[in-house]
Each structure stands twice: as C-alpha cells, then as structure tokens.
Amino acid sequence: MEKADIGLEGKDIIGHTVKFLVDCKENGEILDNQVPPSIYIVPSAFRDLSPSSFNPRVVSIGPLHKQDENLKGFEVQKKTYLHNLLQRCVPKQTLQDEHSVAIKQMLQECAEKVTHSIQRIKASYGGLTTCSDFELAEMMVIDGCFILEFGARLLELSSKSNKLITQSIMFDLMLIENQIPFFVLENIFECTLLKSIPNASLTTYIQEILKYYSYIFVGNLVAPNVSPDSTHDHLLGLLHKNYQPSKPIQAMFLPDPKGHSAMDLYRAGINFKPNEDQDWGLAMKLEVPSPLFSWIPIFMAIPQIPWLQWPTLKMPIMRINDSTELILRNLIIYEQFSNVGKYITSYVCAMDLLIDTPQDVARLVKSKVLINHLGSNDHAANMINNICKEVLLLEFVYHEQWKDLDAYYNRYWPYTISGLRRTYFKNPWNIIALVAAFVLFALTVVQTIFTVNPK
C-alpha cells in the first residue's frame, strides 16, 4: 500500500499507537525510579504447592488479607493490644487527668508519622492496596501497635493456656503477605515504647521475638552482622538477615549440580557432622584429610571406624517439625523476589540434593545434622524434596563444597567402594553371603594346596 493511500482512519490508528508507545516509555521511566516492593502476593505456582504456608490463620497484618472473613474476628483483639501498649508507655506517676491526654498525644504522633509516609507505604506493597489513605494509615497504626505489644507480652502469653493461638500468631507474623514495612514499626516504636525505654533499639527489641524462631536451625540465631541501628524491609527480612554470613560469600550459578545422595556419599567414605561456625549459622565445610590407611581399599568400606580420619561434610543442624516448611517457604519467596542473598534457597536445595529417600534422612539423623520431629522419614524426605519445586537456583553459595564433593566421589576407589557397598553391603544377608564366599574360597585354596603338596 502506498503512503498516499493511507486514509484518515489509518492516520488515527498510527497516531494512537505512537502515543501509546510514548506513554509506555514515560510510565516505564517512572516505575524504574520507584523502590521495588518488599511485600507481595505469592504467585500461584508457589502457593498451590503449599497454600497453608502462605495464608494467615489468626491475625491479618497489613492490607493483603484484610478482607479475609476467617481473620476478622481477631480485629477487636488487635485494638485491645493497641490500648494496652499505650497504657504501658504512659509513666506510672502520671496523674489521672493527664493520663488520657498522654494516650491521645501518642496516638496523634503515630498517626502523623504514618500519614506522612503513606506514599512510601503504598510503594512497599507494589500498588496492591485498594483501601483509602485514611484506612491504610489507621491499619498501620493498629497493626504496628499490636506487633509491639505482642512482643512485650510474648513470654507471658507463651506460659498461659492459649499457647496454640500464640504460636499461630507467631507464624502469621512471618508470612511474606502478612507484613508491614519496618520503617512503620520504627515510627510507632519512637512514639510509644521509646518514651518508656530510652535509648532502646527496635531491632534489638524485635530480635528478642525472633529468638522464638531459632528452633529451625539449632544454635545462636542472632547474627553478629545485624547491628541495632540497621534497617530492614520487615520482620521476615530481619529474620532473613540472621541467616546471612558475617562476611560476603561469592555465590555462583550451578548449571547441573551433582545430586549425590547422603547414602551414596556415606558409602563412598564421607561422614556428616554438625558444624559450629560462629560467623555463619548455615555454613557448610568439607574437610578432606589424608587418612593413614587410604591406600588400603577395604578400609573405605567401613568409614565409621573411629580411629580413621575420613572426609567429613560439616553442616548446620536443622530441626524439622510441622512449622519448618512454613518458615522456609516464606524465606525462599522473599529471596526469590528481593535483592538479597539466596542463602536459605541454597541451603534447602543442598538438602534436596542430599535427600532422595527415607534412608538418606535416617543417615543425616544418625549423623546428628538433622532432627526429625515429624515421626516419619518418608514425610521429612517428601517435605524437603517439594520445597524446591518451581524455585530457580541462580546463586548457589555452596558451589565450592559441591564441586569438591563431586571430585572426591568420582575418584576410583570411593566410586568403586560406593558401588560395592550399595550392592553387597545393602543388608546383613548380603554381607553374610560375601563373607561365606570368601571363607569358601580360602578353604578351597587351602584344600588345593594340600592336595598338590600333602607334606
């Protein structure tokens, strides 16, 4: 078609198309200048694998689950927590007439600080909020006060009869969809608890709450690199920082990680032991000494001899129970969609490589690097194998350890002995048959010698 043949309708289409594309560019530049959201709805590809890991059970924090009918019954309780926090922060010597004035003043300060940050709050949710600015500001004040008062009363609540509800709230506070920005908590903390606890730090205050989540990885949860003055995305982001190393680790893409299971490695002569690294709670370290009898292949079939030194993979101790999957999945989602180190993703994927069968779980439990409270090794193996589904492993912080594991396993004797142990030492009857064959062979040789030379 010639240019002259283009009519007015065609020109209108071209003009609208050009304008649309120009607007897209301008809108794209605006979006590029915005801070990426830190609180988001979990994509269905991950949610469908374990919906209970992302849905709050008792309390709604923030706007994403505000309309959930199952959670509205607790809204009155949150307001009670708010007033209890304000009462806590009023000095005891305050006169009765001045008491209500002090409470109103604190609420006024909280509302002003939150209102001034309302656009920043919206940006933290990526535009997913449908409520008005007034509703969002009110929600932030109530939810922030609830979290601070819940933390103050946690020890008291844990000792009462409502332990189940308290535990459920603790899990709800760690859901990626159930967060409020950390700077909102800071604003409310400054207007309330800081008045009664001068020079206090919100990070230090929240760390006392996070100690209750240290059951997953046995040991000290509080990392030395989390300073009292540091800022964070939200509570889940602060929990994630506790699992970061004190020094940066060079992560690499692992295109085809070698999945040698725990039993395969054990049969090849590799033991597993708990790691006690003070700089990083999730550290793994492969120690490959030069054993005294490594030149005698038969010793490689019995790596549990205590006076022989064999390669050892030192690992963090993980405790698996009913809530482990919930915490790990939310930490992994946070890593997948945020610009933070992929430490939890790397650890869970490493465990996925080590665990193929219930026998692998049993080996790690016997080596004291895994504590299984689920009762069934099958259940534990399925949980670990399912967590990494749909997860992209673009940064593997244990790539050096896995490269060394693969290099050792593929040596002639470890690989050969592993195959022999898998085939001939799988059960006691195979061992008895093999020993009987050796004895029969030895007797046959002796009989042949005496037959040829009776003297």
Read off the pLDDT of residues 288-342 as tens digits, 9 standing for 90 and up: 876 544 444 444 445 445 445 678 999 999 999 989 999 999 999 999 999 899 9
Is-contact 168 57, C-beta < 8 A?
yes
Closest of 277, 387, 284 to residue 335, by C-alpha:
387
What pLDDT does residue 292 have?
47
What pLDDT does residue 453 have?
72
Give the pairing of strands 271-274 and 312-315.
Answer: parallel
Residues 449 and 443: their CA atoms lie apart, in Å, by: 10
Domain ranges of the chain: 3-32, 47-241, 262-424
Is-contact 319 216, C-beta < 8 A?
yes
Report the residue count for the chain.
Answer: 455
Position with higher pLDDT, 239 vs 229: 239
Residues 56 and 177: their CA atoms lie apart, in Å, by: 9
Looking at 247-261, 291-305, 406-420, which range is the least confident one?
291-305
Q: Percentage of the chain with pLDDT > 70?
A: 75
93, pLDDT greater than 80: no
Q: CA triplet 231, 236, 242: central angle to 5 degrees?
A: 70
pLDDT band at 64 (very low <50, low <70, confident <90, very high): very high
Residue carrying structure tokens 């003297």: 455
Looking at 134-138, 230-234, 266-270, 429-433, which range is the least confident one?
429-433
Residue carrying structure tokens 């030149």: 295
Q: Which two tokens stand for residue 397?
A: 């912080």
pTM of the model: 0.82
What pLDDT does residue 8 have?
55
Closest of 36, 54, 177, 62 to residue 131, by C-alpha:
62
What pLDDT does residue 310 have?
74
Q: Which two tokens stand for residue 154?
A: 């946690």
33, pLDDT greater than 70: no
245, pLDDT greater than 50: yes
What type of residue sits at position 78? K
Give bridge partners of residue 396 from the DSSP assignment: 252
Residue carrying structure tokens 């370290």: 285
